Protein backbone atom coordinates (compact mmCIF):
# COMPACT_ATOMS: atom_id res chain seq x y z
CA UNK A 1 0.00 0.00 0.00
CA UNK A 2 1.50 3.33 -1.03
CA UNK A 3 1.13 6.51 1.00
CA UNK A 4 -1.55 7.73 -1.42
CA UNK A 5 -3.56 4.52 -0.98
CA UNK A 6 -3.79 4.85 2.79
CA UNK A 7 -7.14 5.43 4.43
CA UNK A 8 -7.43 8.95 5.82
CA UNK A 9 -8.43 8.57 9.46
CA UNK A 10 -9.47 11.68 11.36
CA UNK A 11 -9.47 11.22 15.13
CA UNK A 12 -11.66 13.78 16.93
CA UNK A 13 -11.17 14.06 20.67
CA UNK A 14 -11.65 16.30 23.68
CA UNK A 15 -14.53 18.71 23.92
CA UNK A 16 -16.22 20.73 26.61
CA UNK A 17 -17.93 17.85 28.40
CA UNK A 18 -16.96 16.17 31.66
CA UNK A 19 -15.63 13.29 29.51
CA UNK A 20 -12.84 15.44 28.02
CA UNK A 21 -10.02 13.51 29.71
CA UNK A 22 -11.51 10.13 28.82
CA UNK A 23 -11.81 11.22 25.19
CA UNK A 24 -8.16 12.34 25.10
CA UNK A 25 -6.99 9.07 26.63
CA UNK A 26 -9.02 7.05 24.15
CA UNK A 27 -7.69 9.09 21.22
CA UNK A 28 -4.11 8.54 22.39
CA UNK A 29 -4.72 4.77 22.40
CA UNK A 30 -6.24 4.89 18.91
CA UNK A 31 -3.32 6.93 17.57
CA UNK A 32 -0.80 4.49 19.03
CA UNK A 33 -2.67 1.44 17.72
CA UNK A 34 -3.37 2.66 14.17
CA UNK A 35 -0.91 1.35 11.61
CA UNK A 36 0.66 4.38 9.83
CA UNK A 37 1.40 2.20 6.80
CA UNK A 38 -2.34 1.70 6.37
CA UNK A 39 -3.77 4.96 7.77
CA UNK A 40 -2.95 8.61 7.17
CA UNK A 41 -3.95 9.97 10.56
CA UNK A 42 -5.07 13.52 11.33
CA UNK A 43 -5.79 14.15 15.00
CA UNK A 44 -8.20 17.01 15.71
CA UNK A 45 -8.53 18.11 19.31
CA UNK A 46 -11.22 20.24 20.87
CA UNK A 47 -10.03 22.00 24.01
CA UNK A 48 -12.15 22.70 27.08
CA UNK A 49 -13.01 26.15 25.68
CA UNK A 50 -14.38 24.62 22.47
CA UNK A 51 -11.46 25.67 20.27
CA UNK A 52 -10.49 23.15 17.59
CA UNK A 53 -6.81 22.32 17.12
CA UNK A 54 -5.51 20.52 14.04
CA UNK A 55 -2.66 18.01 13.82
CA UNK A 56 0.52 19.13 15.61
CA UNK A 57 -1.22 21.22 18.26
CA UNK A 58 -3.67 18.38 18.87
CA UNK A 59 -0.85 15.85 19.31
CA UNK A 60 0.75 18.13 21.89
CA UNK A 61 -2.58 18.30 23.72
CA UNK A 62 -2.67 14.49 23.88
CA UNK A 63 0.84 14.36 25.31
CA UNK A 64 -0.11 16.74 28.14
Q: Are strands 39-46 and 52-54 parallel, antiparallel or unpaired?
A: antiparallel
pLDDT tens readout for residues 29-56:
999 999 999 999 899 999 999 999 886 6
Convert the pLDDT of each residue in 3-14 to its tens digit.
689 999 999 999
List the chain domain ranges.
3-63
Question: pLDDT grade, residue 59 (50/70/90)?
Answer: low
Those residues whose C-beta lies under 8 Å from the C-beta of residue 54, and which sit 6 or more positions away, are 42, 44
> What are the angstrom distances between the C-alpha of 8 and each of 3, 36, 53?
10, 10, 18
Q: Domain spanning 3-63: which CATH class is it, in words?
A: alpha beta
Q: List, in order, residues 6 or more apart from 53 with CB less than 8 Å away.
A: 44, 45, 46, 47, 61
Q: What is the pTM of this model?
A: 0.76
Mean pLDDT of all residues in the chain? 87
Amino acid sequence: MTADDRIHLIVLFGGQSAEHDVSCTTAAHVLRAANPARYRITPVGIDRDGQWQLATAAQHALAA
